Amino acid sequence: MVEKEISESVKIALHEDLNGLSASEGDITANLIPEGKQAKAIVITREDAVFCGKAWTQEVFKQLGNKVTITWHVKDGDFVKANSTLFSLEGCARTLLTGERSALNFIQTLSAIATRTKHYTDIIKETNCKLLDTRKTLPGLRNASKYAVLCGGGFNHRIGLYDAYLIKENHILACGGIKQAIEMANKLHPERWVEVEVESIEELNQALNAGAQRVMLDNFTVAMMQEAVQINRDNEHSADLEVSGNVTTSTILAFASTGVDYISVGALTKHINAIDLSMRFVD
């Protein structure tokens, strides 16, 4: 993660709470507290989770200006038990309260992604298959979400539309076929890897023979996946195989056990329940 992107995300979050005003003007409830009052606080998790979001939290209090000292008890990627203290804060009481929700919003969302990812990766840990994310992320939090996937033990698929080809059904139709689409991709950006989504064994063979580097098996049955793995092994233009569609915690082990290289799961970043966190002032 680049510092600039984290800074911009935090800036937007604080703008939502403060309406573009300074903390002293925008947080009218915090102004009930005497300006110079100091306080200590702890943030705890109320459920088991994989923690993620340290840099965003630090940036929240940095942008609020008044010095806040944060003592961390965890780091990104750590598994934490319910009721564990994640970090302690000390500083201006007003600032602690102004930054509380923005900081916790980042942590609870990113930790939820990391936690869900770990749940999936634990299921397939005895296989050689790698778990991938997708571009099904919250707008504006693409890289943050993909970082959280890494913290949970998963791997990143392409980041956006610019860093790799993913040729799907509509691209194939518009280009006139799989072979034509791959040829054009190699002509335009030979340095980018090319993946083709296929919906049948016939399309798999077309993609392999045309030189695809990765083939996404879309909504294949387990039997079809097993057949695809064997076909790929026997083809002189073998590629990495990725499974997508109908992937759940109940199906992923069977899919991974077929011998495919990757399984991509949109649910890692879009079907999440925020981790329950709490900030408490302490003596």
Q: What are the residue numbers of the active site? A: 101, 136, 168, 197, 218
Measure the CA–CA gap between 147 and 116, rounded to whole angstroms: 13
CA-nearest of 225, 281, 235 to 255 is: 225
Residue type for position 173: L
What whole-number distance in Å separates Cα of residue 50 and Cα of residue 214? Answer: 30
Contacts of 239 (CB under 8 A, 6+ apart): 207, 208, 212, 213, 214, 215, 232
- DSSP H stretches of helix in the chain: 3-18, 23-26, 54-63, 93-123, 142-151, 169-175, 178-188, 201-209, 222-234, 252-256, 267-270
Closest CA to 280 of 138, 87, 139: 87
